[in-house]
Each structure stands twice: as C-alpha cells, then as structure tokens.
A and B are shown apart, each in its own frame.
Chain A
C-alpha cells in the first residue's frame, strides 16, 4: 500500500458521515409544500437545495382557455394570502392591453383594498415567522387582527380568502355605505396594538439572537437574484414599484404620501417612533427583512387613511367591470405590481378578434426570492433554515402557480 493511500484511509476514518435529510414537503415550517434537501453534518447544513412543483395547477395554461375576467379567480389562488393584490395586478395588465382608463373613485377603492390586504398578508408573515422560531402566541395575536381585516373584506365581496373583487374594468361592487366608518374603527383599534408585536418579537432578546446576523443577503446579491419586495428592501435597496413602477400602476398612488421602507444612513425613517435597530443586526439579515414588513404595515395604515379621505371626496362611478366576453385587441401587455411579497408581473398576449388571450404568463416574486435559499443556507445550523426561509415569507401557491 502506498503512503498516499494510507493517509487517505486515515482521513476517511476520522471523517464523520454526512446525512441527506428531506425537509418537506410535509414539514411544519416549510410554508406549505416546499421541499428542501439538506446535506447535514451533525447540526451543520452544508447545502440546502429547494425542490418545487408540488402545488402546480397549470394556472397559466388555464388562462389561455378563459377570458380575462374569468381568469381572475385563478389569480386569487396564486398568492392566497394577498389575493386582492393578485387581482389588482391582473386587472391592471388587462386594462393596459385594452388601454382602459379608470374612474377616479375606483382608483381609491383599489388602493384601500390592496393595502388592507397587504396588512393581512404581512400579519400572516409576521405570525408564521414567530412559529418558525418556536413561539406560538404572536401567531394567534396576528390572526386575531387578520380576522378583522378579513371581516372587512368579506363585507365588501363575500369571500374571506379568494376574493375576485378587483376585476378588469374596476371592482365587482362599490364599497358598502358604512364600510368606511368600520374600516376607520378597525385602524384606530389596530394601530395601538403594533407595539405589542414589537415587544413579543422585534425587540425580544431571543428573537434578536435568532435572527440577527444570519441569512445576510447583500444588496448586490439581492439584485442579482432578482429579489423584490421586503426581501430587496431589507437588503437596503431603495426600490418600490408603488413609487418606481410603470405609470399605469404608480398613477393609482398619485397624491398619496407614503414612505418606502428602507434603511438609509443606518436608520429607518421611523426609528424614532419604533424600536431602534439592535447593534447585532447586519443590513440584509433576517431581522431586517422582518422589520421592513412590520414598518410597511404602518405605511399601509397611513395609505388606507388617506385613501378613505380621497374616496369620500371622489366623484364618478365605482368602475363597472368590463364585459365577460369583451373582445381583446391584438397586442401584448406586461405589468408588474408591488405585492406584499414583491414584484408580481402578469403578461398577456392576444391575437385580436377573440375574447380569449393567446398567452398568459405570471412572473412570481416568491420564485426569485426563494432562489436565494441555496446561497444563504450554506454552512448554517438546522435551526437557521426555518429562520431564513421564513424571513423570505414565501407562498408556495405563487411559486408553483
């Protein structure tokens, strides 16, 4: 036996075995049916490979067999936690193809509804992130408030999860007469409760220990991987489609005063009112992604309050939907909107003369956000995997479509 062989044998003898572990698709903290294959050496994960496709329902193909208005319920089922925002994205894309101009009143209805849904979605993101880190109570506090949002949305459209409320041409019905008052009452009750969430999670010592300094996503990397939404802004990139998007989308938010939540000069704009960034936190880590979501809730409240004032003053009708079988002009349209989870793009191609589009495609924000799992989860601990994946706040329905 040569000496090189012997040294190899000695090395093999010392080496501990690596183990391949399947995390998911049935696992409590993979947010549905994500499957991660972990290569572990004891507690240390050297590689995590995400596998997707367990929730593929051919939504895009179905879109090629239905008229745009009939396709709206399928957009609900993509991101089921922010269905209103998905409806909005699809409706704006179809309106772009049709070159359809909206009445003033429906513009504000859409902003109110979309931002209300953003609150509900971020509450789920916050609560389930607590679950991922092993605390159960904030999850139920978040769902308690979310129920109230869902009550408001149910009053508007009759559904609690898959709304199909915002449709091409407007919305399916005007806001009920005393809805605005109820919504104001909810916001007045909800806003003072946000410090509770900060106490339970954001500033909790164990929470800070678990989330700061792990899963650090640099700004360059976030841009390279096509991340968007709170994941991108958590890395310090000042980009929000509500301000930087296409005119057709940003015109919705015209006249609104809101801030894009991003860390500038080592502090958030709202630092004076809300907990300061802990010293351990590194820009782009899990804590920042979580904190951006928490602050966006405040901005959403601000937007809804302004929207309700505008709505009450606005004139014109509430925006009747287009006809179910309205003929589509030839051409194509692509539009990205700022969903709670990031940039959600819809693409529609029409040959013209028919009411059914030739092609329908969706650009998923979570898909790009999920792609950073592989570089982030290198050489971390098993316990960090739920912390990192949870901070991306993915919805598998949107990734698989």
Chain B
C-alpha cells in the first residue's frame, strides 16, 4: 500500500505517500475497533436486559434497538465537557487518550486470519501484552488529575490490581509460546490448523487449566466485574471515572470494550485455534488441491474471510461470557482480589507452566493426537522461513539508495 501511494508523488516527496498509507490503515483499524465497541455496547445492553428479565433497548433504529449505541454516542457528544476546578488540566484531558490509544494500538499486531494483520511482528504476542499493560497509565493519570478523592482511590486500586494480574497473565501466555516455539501470533494460529483437536486447549490437561486462569486474569486486567474495583460504583461512586463526563467518559468506555475484545481475540488465538474452524473445510480443501485452490487468489481470500468470521465468533463468545459473569456475581473486595491473584492464580499458573514443560519435553500425546495433523514443527519452520523472507525483503528495500528511512518502517 505504501509503495502504491508513494507512486503518486514526485521524487523526494514519497514520504507523503507513506504517511497517507499509514493514515488510511490507522483509520481503517480504528473504525473496525470502534464498530466492535459499538456492537458490543449494544450487545451488553441486550444481554444484561435478558439476564435481568427485561427487554433492553427495543426501539432505537427500528428493531432490537440496534442503533442504541449511536444514540448514546450522540448524547455523549452533545454533553458538556466538564472539568473540576481542582483538576490538573493537562493530565485530565490527556488521560482518556492514553487509555484509548493503548487499547487500540494493541490491535495493530492482532491477526484476524492467516497473514491478515496490520503489522506482522515476530514478537506480536509480547507487543500486545505490553501495550495492553499501558492502558493502566490512562487510568492512573485520570485518578490522579481529577482532584477528587474517590478518583484517587480508584486509580490506586487499578494500579495495584493490574500490576498484580500482569504476573499470572504473563505466565499464562508463555505456555502457548512454549508449545508453539514462536511469539508470532500468525504462526501460533497457523500451527493449530486442522481439526479442533489440534487447538492448543486440547494439547494437554495443564493448558486446559491455564486457559481458565488466563480468562480470570484477563477479566481482571480489563477491569470488568467481579474485578471492577477501580470504578466500583457502590464504594467509590465511579472511581477514576467520577469527574469525567461526555466524550471523555465515553473514550474510557470505548477503551474498556476495546480491551475486552482484545483479550478475547487473544484467547481465541492462543487457545482456540484463532481463525481455524472446528472442522477444516476450506483449509482442508486447500490441502487436498494445493495446485488448484491453494494458488487461487479468490479462494484463499474467501477462506480467510471465513477465518475472520470464525475468530470474531470465538471472541464474541468470550466477550459475552464476560458480560454474563458481570451481571451475575457481586464484586470482590480489594484484598480478596489481590489474594486471589497471589495465592491462587500465580501458583496455579506456575505449576501448570512446569507441567506443560514436562509434557512437551516427554512428548506425551493427548486429545490433539486423535486426528493426525501437520506437525507443529513443520508449520513453524515454514513461518520462520516466511519471516526470514520478509526480513530479507525489508533489508533489500532499505539497501536501495533511492528510498529514505521512512519507507522501511511502513509496509
């Protein structure tokens, strides 16, 4: 895309083309995520409505209230942008953008189908987890700068909670990395190709437990009930959100939904085969007729589109389970949240990590050996080669004298 736009401009002005390409990609990505938040905010209203024996929105947009999020958005946009007198003006205004940017940037490295990723990174998983951890900065800034005691409480709680839960979360995501031997999310997803028995969650019993630990930690790190201590309505009014109104408030809200979608996408890639369906229809066809279908641009694109539907379905199930949990359980107390992390999640994750290590080292079979599939090592090799090819290409482009450095950074 960058090269295409660069062609529009005269020599020495090609960086404009690359900037344009980056802008287009960023806007596309932001819209995909914003639309996801849009859909899930509506879904949350409907799900909570049904759980609570009511209907939820029914009229906005004709049927099912499907335009409710838009109506909410318009309402929030038209609200007054209030700032308390005691607030630190710069930090107060900056905080929502930090949260939103952190939540949305992580999507840059998340693949939606084989090779369909905005920025192919060989340390994709590491990047996503690191960026996700940055979201807490926005919350701490918001709480600190609001000039409200309740906000400060919320921020401190969030800091304590996220820092604790990053430890078991990190341990949980290390397990798929260890099995797959790569941090490239595309490669991890592709190694689970084939029947559903090939998904990593069926690799061994330990990883099955690890998934639940991951889910608990993910819920805690995106600050959802029963771990929503930072905004704990009945205790801290609204925690770090207390002094925010209108659009700034909704930016935090969108960041929360963005993170929810992100951790669910990550769960589906790491444990549930990502874009690979339970029964390999399209990938199976490609494997059978590699010469006809494998080379057909139309067919592989179609297979990838089905893959996108697959991964979005899996992620939606994850998000809906989070909603279900939220509308069922009371909130934990702050000491209980930290206790759960340090006394249960960390030891379980550590033991399972060891368990998976031995399981893999000893080469014991489990459910994933029921249906024979392509060995993971072979898939990995092919992706390592692919990565090397990509590196070489980038290296070549950097070596060509007519291009400047900006070209190498945007593909």
Contact = CB atoms under 8 A, between A and B. Distances in A.
Given A204-B330, A381-B334, A29 B235 contact: yes
Contacts of B226: 134, 206
Contacts of B45: none
B53 A133 contact: no
Contacts of A133: 234, 330-331
Given A29-B235, A137-B52, A384 B333 contact: yes
B144 to A, nearest CB: 14
B79 interface: no
Interface in A118-135: 130-135
B176 to A, nearest CB: 29
Interface residues of B, number: 29
Nearest to B49: A140
A39 B204 CA distance: 51
Contact of A206 (B51, B236, B330): B330
Contacts of B52: 136-137, 140-141
A43 B233 contact: no
B233 A383 contact: no
A134 to B, nearest CB: 3
Contact of A137 (B51, B156, B335): B51
A207 interface: yes
A21 B237 CA distance: 12
Contact of B327 (A132, A137, A386): A137
A183 interface: no
Contact of A43 (B48, B327, B334): B334
B328 interface: yes
B150 to A, nearest CB: 7
B332 A209 contact: yes
B52 to A, nearest CB: 4
A184 interface: no
B342 to A, nearest CB: 16
B228 interface: yes
A144 B53 contact: yes
Interface in A167-224: 200-201, 204, 206-207, 209-210
B80 to A, nearest CB: 19
A173 B54 CA distance: 35
A51 interface: no
B327 A209 contact: no
A27 interface: yes
Contacts of B330: 130, 133-135, 201, 204, 206-207, 210
A382 B53 contact: no
A113 interface: no
B329 A135 contact: yes
Nearest to B225: A134
A200 B330 CA distance: 9
B149 interface: yes
Interface string A209-244: 110000000000000000000000000000000000
A131 B234 contact: yes
A25 B235 CA distance: 13
Contact of A28 (B233, B331, B333, B335): B233
Interface string A6-23: 000000000000010100
B252 interface: no
Contact of A209 (B48, B150, B157, B333): B333
Interface in A1-60: 19, 21, 27-29, 42-43
Contacts of B235: 29, 134, 382-383, 385-386
B237 A27 contact: yes
Contacts of A42: 156
A210 B332 contact: yes
A135 B157 CA distance: 19
Interface in A154-174: none
B70 to A, nearest CB: 24
A200 B53 contact: no
Contacts of A140: 52-54
Interface in B37-60: 48, 51-54
Contact of A135 (B149, B331, B333): B331
Contacts of B232: 134, 383
Contact of B329 (A21, A132, A141, A204): A204
B171 to A, nearest CB: 24
Contacts of A136: 48, 52, 327
Contacts of B51: 137
Contacts of A144: 53
A356 B54 CA distance: 49
Given A144-B53, A209-B336, A137 B233 contact: no
A36 to B, nearest CB: 12
Nearest to A20: B149
A30 B226 CA distance: 21
Contact of A21 (B149, B327, B334): B149
B329 A210 contact: no
A210 B337 CA distance: 11
B327 A383 contact: no
B335 A381 contact: yes
B309 to A, nearest CB: 31
Given A134-B331, A136-B327, A382 B54 contact: no
Contacts of B53: 140-141, 144
B234 A132 contact: yes
B345 to A, nearest CB: 16
B153 interface: yes
A133 B334 CA distance: 12
A137 B332 CA distance: 16
Contacts of B336: 209-210
Contacts of B237: 27-28
Q: Which of A29, A130, A201, A207 has the most CB of B within 10 A?
A: A29
A42 B236 CA distance: 13
Contact of A19 (B149, B225, B233, B327): B149
A29 B238 CA distance: 11
A206 B234 contact: no
Given A134-B225, A134-B233, A141-B53, A382 B335 contact: no
Interface string B235-256: 1110000000000000000000
Interface string B214-242: 00000000000110100011111100000
Contacts of B153: 43, 382
Nearest to A201: B330
Given A383-B235, A383-B333, A386-B234, 13 more contacts: A28-B234, A42-B156, A43-B334, A134-B232, A134-B233, A134-B330, A135-B330, A140-B54, A206-B329, A209-B336, A210-B331, A210-B333, A383-B331
9 contacts: A27-B237, A28-B233, A43-B157, A43-B334, A133-B330, A136-B52, A140-B53, A141-B52, A382-B236
Q: Give the 8 A-B residue pairs with the shortest CB-CB distance, closest first.
A: A134-B331, A29-B234, A133-B330, A135-B330, A140-B52, A383-B333, A386-B234, A206-B330
